[in-house]
């Protein structure tokens, strides 16, 4: 996963679990990164229009950032399901988090279609940052 994708997906999941803004400390802990590196990424994502960042408060996804993060999350859910159900990996969520930004939405969609009928596609649960 690219660094930006990593942060966008983690921020998306964090926003599902608690109200934004999400502090750099909270996300740094979840991603096992330094708070300084997380703050720097928040600033970079803000210049790209993907988050709104306020020093000492945290960041929240913009509509553009949310769109990208939702696509990453859909890929994450598909990969997590595949790793758990087909490969029987105990670390399915961690592996899916690592790969979500590397797999195109088209590949994830085709993987889901290949593995299960459309009416049996897994629910898109938010996931838990503590599992990464």
Which tens digit of pLDDT belongs to each residue from 5-50?
Answer: 999 999 999 999 999 999 999 999 999 999 999 999 999 999 999 9
Residue with tokens 């988050």: 51
Q: Give the pLDDT band (50/70/90) at residue 98.
A: confident
> Does the CA dihedral 111-97-127-106 come out positive or negative?
negative
The whole-angstrom separation of Cα 34 and Cα 94 is 19
131 is a domain residue: no
Tell me what pLDDT residue 1 has: 54
Q: Strands 58-61 and 51-54, how do they pair?
A: antiparallel
Q: Are 113 and 88 in contact (CB under 8 A)?
A: no
What is the arithmetic mean of pLDDT over 55-80?
A: 94
With respect to residue 78, please indicate whether it lies within any of the assigned structural domains. Answer: yes
Is residue 94 situated within a structural domain?
Answer: yes
Q: Are residues 60 and 104 in the same domain?
A: no
Q: Which residue, of 66, 89, 115, is where some domain finishes?
A: 66
| Domain assignment of residue 122, given as a range | 71-126
pLDDT at 69: 96
């Amino acid at each position: 996963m690219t660094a930006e994708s990593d942060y966008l997906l983690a921020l998306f999941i964090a926003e599902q679990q608690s109200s934004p803004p999400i502090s750099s400390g909270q996300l740094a802990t979840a991603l096992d990164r330094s708070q300084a590196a997380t703050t720097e990424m928040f600033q970079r994502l803000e210049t790209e229009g993907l988050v709104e960042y306020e020093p000492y408060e945290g960041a929240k996804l913009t509509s553009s950032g949310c769109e990208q993060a939702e696509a990453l999350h859909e890929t994450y859910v598909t990969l997590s399901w595949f790793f758990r159900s087909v490969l029987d990996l105990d670390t399915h969520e961690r592996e899916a988090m690592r790969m979500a930004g590397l797999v195109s939405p088209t590949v994830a969609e085709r993987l889901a279609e290949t593995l299960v009928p459309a009416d049996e596609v897994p629910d898109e649960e938010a996931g838990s940052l503590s599992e990464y």
